[in-house]
């Protein structure tokens, strides 16, 4: 199962939980691991889920919360 890594400007567990909730709703995503200290998110998803589609969802949250979001 392909793995996608994002650099996300998370500052607390609330941010991490929001990211998990957003990506967890995406059809085909099997796991979302967040590391607030390293500001990374690792997503396991099947081939039907593109990094661009996940990035788009994270960018919506990032612009609303003022957090940076990028593919690693």
Condensed to tens digits (0 to 9), the pLDDT of residues 10-69 reads 999 999 999 999 999 999 999 999 999 999 999 999 999 999 999 999 999 999 999 999
Positive or negative CA dihedral for 40, 54, 14, 42? negative
- As a whole number of angstroms, the distance between CA 65 and CA 69 comes to 11
- As a whole number of angstroms, the distance between CA 3 and CA 27 comes to 15
Domains detected in the chain: 3-71 (3.30.70.100)
Helix/strand/coil (H/E/C) assignment for every residue in 7-57 = EECCCCHHHHHHHHHHHHCCCCEEEEEEECCCCEEEEEECCCCCHHHHHHH
The verdict on pTM exceeding 0.85 is yes
When pLDDT is cut at 50, 70 and 90, the band that residue 1 belongs to is: confident
């Amino acid at each position: 199962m392909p793995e996608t890594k994002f650099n996300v400007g998370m500052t607390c567990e609330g941010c991490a939980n929001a990211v998990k909730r957003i990506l967890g709703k995406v059809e085909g995503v099997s796991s979302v691991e967040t590391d607030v200290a390293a500001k990374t998110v690792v997503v396991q998803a099947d081939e039907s889920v593109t990094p661009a589609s996940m990035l788009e969802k994270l960018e919506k949250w990032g612009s609303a919360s003022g957090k940076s979001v990028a593919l690693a």
